[in-house]
Amino acid sequence: MSFEIDVSRRLGDRIIACAFQAPAGLTALFGPSGAGKTSVLNMIAGLLKPDTGTVRVAGETLTDIAAGADVPPERRRAGYIFQDGRLFPHMSVRRNLRYGEKLARPEHRWMTMGDAVDFLGIASLLDRWPRTLSGGEAQRVAIGRALLSAPRFLLMDEPLSSLDAARRAEILVVIERIRDELKLPILYVSHDRAEVDRLADTIVPIE
């Protein structure tokens, strides 16, 4: 699966612009905080509409402003993983995972609940509430919820930034397994060079 991105959007007094092509694997959008990396990710997800440009994934056009094409976010089959997990606080871990599963059309599902639980090692967390989880546990659950939504690709917005060193090391291994074992294409936002050098097949600098 390839990414072909060429988008721009005015936000206040500045213009966020990014253009790149990348093959399958993990592509890192790398640059300092405030450079617009998350805005680019949101344009790819369909959460922020660019003023101009195109978004194509695996040859499918998701956005083409000139042609008037803009596929809704829920039809893009992008799994989005945020910095803070964003689990539903009123749902148990099990119900958070089931929510992701319900987002997927049956014919698109390629991972079962049991598969996700085993892959992420979260069987002991299923009956717990998000407020009782550590940062690393919450991020594992958030990743599981995204995987169960049957994504064609993942968008990760600095998923390690709120974790301590030990938890960060654990989640790094999870991301590597998604990249290498599940072969799921990933667009990954980070301002940490060591993190990017370890994970990325392709690096796109954003300044």
- 127-151 mean pLDDT: 95
What is d(CA 185, CA 27) in angstroms, rounded to the nearest whole number?
8
Residue 13 DSSP class: T
pLDDT above 90: percentage of residues in the chain: 83
Q: Is the whole-model pTM more than 0.75?
A: yes
Q: Which domains are assigned to the chain?
A: 1-74+185-207 (3.40.50.300)
Confidence grade of residue 1 (pLDDT, cut at 50, 70, 90): low
The encoded tokens of residue 139 equal 């991020």
Neighbours of 96 (CB within 10 A): 25
pLDDT of residue 34: 82
Q: 66 pLDDT exceeds 70?
A: yes
Which tokens in the block code for residue 185? 């294409």
pLDDT in tens, 39-63: 999 999 999 999 999 999 988 999 9
* Mean pLDDT over each residue of the chain, to the nearest integer: 93
Decide: helix, strand or coil at residue 91. Answer: coil
Nearest to 91 by CA among 130, 120, 133: 130
Q: Assign 85 a pLDDT band (cuts: 50, 70, 90).
A: confident
